[in-house]
Chain A
Amino acid sequence: MNEITITIDGRAIKTQEGEYILNAARANGIFIPAICYLTRCSPTLACRICLVEADGKQVYACNAKAKQGMDITTTTPNILAERRAIMEVYDVNHPLECGVCDQSGECELQNYTLEVGVDSQTYSIKDTHKPAQNWGLLHYDPALCIMCERCITVCKDMIGDAALSTVARGSDAIEATFKESMPKDAYAMWNKLNKSLIAPNGGDTLDCTNCGECSSVCPVGALVSSDYQYTSNAWEHKQIPATCAHCSAGCQISYDIKHTSIANTEPKIYRVKNEWNYVSLCGAGRYGFDFENRDVRKDAVAFEKALDAFKKADTIKFTSTITNEEAMILQKLKEKLGLRLVNNEALAFKNFLIGYSTISGKSLYGGDLKMVHAADFVVSIGSALKTDNPNARFAMNNALSMNKGAGLYFHPINDPVIEGMSKNITQINHAPMMEEAALYLMLDLFGDKAAMPSSITEYLSTFHSTKTVTVEESVDEKVTETVTKKVLNEETGVEEEVSEEVTKTIKKKVSKEVEVDENALFALLNAPAGFADTLSKYLAKKETFALMVGPDLYTHPNAANCARLVALIEKYTAFSVTMIPNLSNTLGVAMICDLDAECGSYTIGYNTDGNFTLSALGNGDLDMPALNQQEGTLSSIDKQVNPTNAALPYNGYVLNDIANALGLNAKHTIAYTAQLPLGAGFKAIEFDALPNHYTNAGEEVRGYVLDIQDVATNGDESVSAFDATKAINDKVLYLANPVLQFSPFTARAHQLQSKGGLYASASAMEASGWSEGDRVNVKTAHGDVTVTVIKDGKIEGDITYLPTFDTDINSEALFDGYRFTSVSIQKV
Chain B
Amino acid sequence: MHHEEVFTDRNVSESSAYYYVDIENYPTTGWDKFKQVVKRTFSGELFVGLWVVLREMIKFDIHTVQYPLEKLPIGPRYRAVHKLLRLWESGYERCIGCGLCEKICISDCIRMDTRIDENSRKEVTEYSINLGRCIFCGYCAEVCPELAIVHGQRYENASEQRAHFVIKDDMLTPLDMLKAGEQAEYPGFGAIIPGSDASVKKTPLAY
Contact = CB atoms under 8 A, between A and B. Distances in A.
Contact of A232 (B114, B121, B128, B206): B114
Interface string A228-269: 011111011000000000000000000000010111000000
A122 interface: yes
Given A100-B97, A121-B203, A262 B146 contact: no
B187 interface: no
A230 B114 CA distance: 6
Interface in B77-100: 96-99
B45 interface: no
Contacts, number: 60
Contacts of A235: 99, 103
Interface in A108-133: 119-126, 132
B204 A233 contact: no
Contacts of B113: 261-262
A99 interface: yes
A699 interface: no
A232 B201 CA distance: 32
A233 B99 contact: yes
B126 A100 contact: no
B164 to A, nearest CB: 14
Interface string B113-140: 1111000111100101000000000000
Nearest to B96: A99
Contacts of A132: 120
Q: Is the interface of A mostly helix, strand, loop or mixed?
A: loop
Contacts of B62: none
Nearest to B127: A262
A244 B121 CA distance: 32
Contacts of A236: 99, 102-103
Contacts of A120: 201, 203
Contacts of A172: 206
Contacts of B116: 229-231
B194 to A, nearest CB: 21
B207 interface: yes
B115 A230 contact: yes
Contacts of A233: 98-99, 102-103
A104 interface: yes
A513 interface: no
Interface residues of B, number: 26
B205 interface: yes
B174 interface: no
Contact of B205 (A100, A119, A124, A232): A124
A97 interface: yes
Nearest to B200: A120
Contacts of A119: 201
Given A123-B204, A124-B206, A230-B116, A100 B111 contact: no
B128 A100 contact: no
A97 B145 contact: yes
Given A120-B201, A230-B122, A262 B112 contact: yes
Contacts of A230: 97, 114-116, 122-123
B158 to A, nearest CB: 23
Contacts of B97: 99-100, 230
A119 B123 CA distance: 31
Contacts of A261: 113, 126
Contacts of B112: 262
Contacts of B207: 126
A121 B103 contact: no
Interface in B137-155: 145-146
B204 A124 contact: yes
A99 B120 contact: no
A230 B96 CA distance: 10
Contacts of B204: 121-124
A256 to B, nearest CB: 15
A818 B88 CA distance: 70
Contacts of B126: 261-263
B63 to A, nearest CB: 45
A124 B204 CA distance: 6
A133 to B, nearest CB: 11
A259 B201 CA distance: 41
A231 B99 contact: no
Nearest to A229: B116
Contact of A262 (B120, B128, B145): B128
A403 to B, nearest CB: 42
Interface in A592-643: none
B10 to A, nearest CB: 24
Nearest to B113: A261
Among B96, B146, B203: residue with most chain A CB under 10 A: B203
A126 B206 contact: yes
A262 B102 CA distance: 12
B206 A262 contact: no
Contacts of A259: 111
Nearest to B146: A99
22 contacts: A99-B97, A99-B122, A100-B96, A100-B121, A119-B201, A120-B203, A122-B204, A123-B204, A124-B203, A124-B205, A124-B206, A126-B207, A175-B206, A230-B116, A230-B123, A233-B99, A233-B102, A235-B99, A235-B103, A236-B99, A259-B111, A263-B126
Interface of B: 96-99, 102-103, 111-116, 120-123, 126, 128, 145-146, 201, 203-207
The 3 lowest CB-CB distance pairs between A and B, nearest first, are A99-B98, A100-B122, A230-B122
Given A100-B122, A125-B206, A229-B116, 5 more contacts: A97-B145, A100-B121, A230-B122, A232-B114, A235-B103
